[in-house]
């Protein structure tokens, strides 16, 4: 059984210095590691001819968009707000998709998108009078009905999925005006699942490809993760480009941010009830919801599985949710109030999913420049940020 990717200890980041400089709580993105990932992605683009986009649903730290935009061709968005942010702050291509659109969404997106992808023939036809008057390239999201996912909630090809059009729904439909097909079936996976999925996609949809201009392989590709078959990916892209004379897009989010960030937290108190629980200024439900949803277990610098070291603690958040538990770890020394902890690989699917439930302090957003040793606090959040979400 394929197990969830839970990360591995970060390399090339001066975590000790970050813990000394950062406020708590805080997300800190290492710019050196971000440049490292971008170099890998650029190599794939140069060798394959593909265009790689930033999936904003995974990483929307727009203060670093100018750096990312030097390498990637644009962003993919899942809503008008994401698309607008991508247009304003990234400044290159904007590709938009949602499970369904309102008419007002279409009107706004047609003004700021380069590609617009529909999830059904019903929406394609309903909004045809609008998009036919635009210069936006129109696509359809397809469902190859080939599951490679290990967790149903993140598997777009799970039974009865609402995402993507199955092949049987194409019978009797017009593709007039459609210029591309998009499939997104993966989650935190290496090359081999994509290779198998692409084969099924081609078997089912090859008859449509000669009339198209582009194919989008979607996201979920851990291209910058150790062990990814970069040569295999390059050859797969070159195969589709040559055989069908199409542009090929990929839209990973995590691959941009893997291994770039940590979440800094501080021990507030240690309480005892059956076992010792260290209560942090970090919350699973507010700051790391994938711990509860995935489920996911992050790596902690200097933390080990329960019982491996002499002192084992349950780590919990400060909220009133009884289940606000991050997990159990052991350490080689006792934890006490004021200790700092670094949760590793916490740049992707973190900042984008946070909440202000209970009025819990939102982590600051920071960058760390290894060349100079400078930690910059890009954004702090205060009471007005919390209040402005309510009425």
**Average pLDDT over the chain, rounded to whole?**
95
Q: How confident is the model at residue 9 (pLDDT cuts 50, 70, 90)?
A: low
Q: What is the pLDDT of residue 8?
A: 54
Q: What is the pLDDT of residues 167-199, one digit of tens each?
A: 999 999 999 999 999 999 999 999 999 999 999
* The pLDDT value given to residue 2: 26
Provide the pLDDT for residue 151: 80
Per-residue pLDDT at 12:
82
For domain 49-257, give its CATH number from 2.60.120.430, 1.20.1250.40, 3.20.20.10, 3.30.70.20. 3.20.20.10
Give tens-digit pLDDT for 258-284: 999 999 999 999 999 999 999 999 999
- pLDDT tier at 152, thresholds 50, 70, 90: confident
CATH code that applies to domain 261-387: 2.40.37.10
pLDDT of residue 1: 22
The predicted pLDDT at position 225 comes to 95
Mean pLDDT for 18-37 is 98
Predicted confidence (pLDDT) per residue in 359-373, tens digit? 999 999 999 999 999
**pLDDT tens-digit map of 236-264:** 999 999 999 999 999 999 999 999 999 99
CATH code 3.20.20.10 region(s) in the chain? 49-257
Q: Does the pLDDT of residue 23 top 50, yes or no?
A: yes
Taking residues 214-231, what's their average pLDDT?
97
From 4-8, 108-112, 135-139, 322-326, the region with the lowest mean pLDDT: 4-8
SS (H, E, C) the chain: CCCCCCCCCCCCCCHHHHHHHCCCCEEEEEHHHHHHHHHHHHHHHHHHCCEEEEECCCCCCHHHHHHHCCCCCEEEECCHHHHHHHHHHHCCEEEEECCCCCHHHHHHHHCCCCEEEECCHHHHHHCHHHHCCCCCEEEEEECCCCCCCCCHHHCCCCCCCCCCECHHHHCCCCCCCEEEEECCCCCCECHHHHHHHHHHHHHHHHHHHHHCCEEECCCCECCCCCCCCHHHHHHHHHHHHHHHCCEEEECCCHHHHCCCEEEEEEEEEEEEECEEEEEECCCHHHHCCHHHHCCCCCCECCCECCCCCCEEEEEECCCCCCCCEEEEEEECCCCCCCCEEEEECCCCCCHHHCCCHHHCCCCEEEEEECCCCEEEEEECCCHHHHHCCCC
List, by residue range, all CATH 2.40.37.10 domains of the chain.
261-387
pLDDT score, position 242: 98
**Of 6-20, 300-314, 323-337, where does mean pLDDT reach its minimum?**
6-20
Query: pLDDT over 70 for what percent of the chain?
Result: 97
């Amino acid at each position: 059984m394929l197990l969830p990717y839970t990360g591995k200890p970060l390399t090339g980041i001066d975590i000790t210095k970050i813990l000394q400089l950062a406020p708590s709580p805080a997300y800190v993105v290492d710019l050196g590691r971000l440049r490292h990932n971008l170099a890998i992605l650029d190599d794939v683009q140069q060798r394959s001819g593909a265009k790689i986009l930033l999936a904003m649903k995974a990483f929307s730290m727009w203060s670093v968009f100018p750096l990312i935009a030097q390498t990637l061709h644009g962003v993919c968005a899942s809503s008008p707000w994401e698309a607008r942010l991508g247009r304003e702050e990234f400044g290159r291509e904007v590709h938009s998709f949602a499970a369904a659109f309102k008419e007002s969404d279409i009107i706004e997106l047609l003004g700021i998108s380069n590609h617009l992808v529909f999830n059904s023939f019903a929406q394609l036809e309903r909004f045809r009078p609008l998009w036919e008057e635009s210069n936006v390239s129109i696509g359809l999201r397809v469902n190859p009905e080939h599951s490679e996912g290990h967790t149903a909630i993140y598997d777009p090809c799970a039974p009865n999925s609402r995402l993507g059009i199955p092949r049987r729904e194409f019978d009797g439909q017009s593709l007039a005006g459609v210029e591309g097909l998009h499939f997104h079936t993966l989650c935190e996976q290496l090359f081999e699942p994509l290779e198998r999925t692409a084969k099924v996609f081609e078997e089912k949809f090859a008859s449509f490809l000669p009339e198209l201009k582009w194919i989008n392989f979607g996201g979920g590709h851990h291209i910058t993760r150790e062990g990814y078959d970069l040569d295999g990916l390059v050859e797969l892209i070159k195969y589709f480009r040559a055989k069908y004379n199409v542009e090929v897009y990929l839209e990973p989010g995590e691959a941009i941010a893997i291994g770039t960030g940590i979440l800094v937290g501080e021990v507030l108190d240690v309480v005892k009830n059956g076992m010792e629980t260290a209560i942090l200024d970090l919350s699973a439900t507010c700051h790391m919801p994938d711990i509860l949803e995935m489920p996911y277990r992050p790596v902690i610098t200097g933390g080990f599985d329960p019982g491996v070291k002499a002192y084992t603690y349950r780590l919990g958040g400060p909220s009133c949710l009884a289940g606000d538990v991050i997990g159990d770890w052991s350490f080689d020394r006792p934890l006490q109030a004021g200790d700092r902890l670094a949760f590793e690989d916490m740049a992707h699917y973190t900042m984008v999913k946070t909440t202000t439930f209970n009025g819990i302090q939102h982590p600051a957003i920071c960058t760390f420049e290894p060349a100079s040793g400078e930690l910059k606090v890009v954004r702090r959040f205060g009471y007005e940020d919390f209040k402005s979400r309510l009425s």
